[in-house]
């Protein structure tokens, strides 16, 4: 049975905040990080919109999404090295 699609951007933000931010960070840092988080989600939606046109095949769309995912995985690896 497929998992229901009921996650929200707000819920993802709350999870992200709990994982990466200490509870005592200044409110301005929380606000600016939240803005960047939502901007990232909006940009990803814009990128995914690239594949939702009739002139993009399913294979091309899947390959594009995989390239985006790999780019994010590569960036995540760099975070640990400080090389970003």
Q: Is residue 1 part of a domain?
A: no
| Tens digits of residue pLDDT in 47-70 | 999 899 999 999 999 999 999 999
Q: pLDDT, tens digit, for every residue of 6-45?
A: 789 999 999 999 999 999 999 999 999 999 999 999 999 9
- Structural domain boundaries enclosing 74: 9-81
Residue 3 falls within a domain, yes or no?
A: no
Written as six digits, the tokens of 20 are: 């990466």
Count of domains observed in the chain: 1
Q: Is residue 33 domain-resident?
A: yes
In a domain, 47, yes or no: yes
> Within a 10 A sphere around the Cβ of 21, how many other Cβ atoms?
13
In the prediction, which pLDDT does 59 show? 94
> Locate tokens 């990466």: which residue?
20
Residue 30 is assigned to a structural domain of this protein: yes
How far are the Cα atoms of 14, 21, 26 from residue 7, in angstroms, in the given order? 11, 21, 27
* Domain membership flag for residue 51: yes
Task: Answer yes or no: is 4 within a domain.
Answer: no
Assess if residue 43 is contained within a domain: yes
Residue 37 CA to residue 32 CA, distance in Å, equals 9
Rg of the chain over all Cα atoms, to the nearest angstrom: 16
């Amino acid at each position: 049975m497929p998992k229901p699609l009921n996650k929200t951007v707000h819920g993802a933000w709350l999870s992200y905040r709990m994982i990466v931010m200490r509870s005592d960070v200044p409110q301005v840092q929380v606000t600016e990080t939240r803005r960047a988080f939502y901007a990232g989600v909006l940009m990803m939606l814009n990128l995914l919109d690239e594949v939702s046109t009739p002139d993009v095949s399913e294979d091309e769309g899947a390959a594009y999404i995989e390239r985006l995912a790999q780019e994010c995985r590569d960036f995540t690896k760099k975070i640990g090295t400080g090389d970003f």
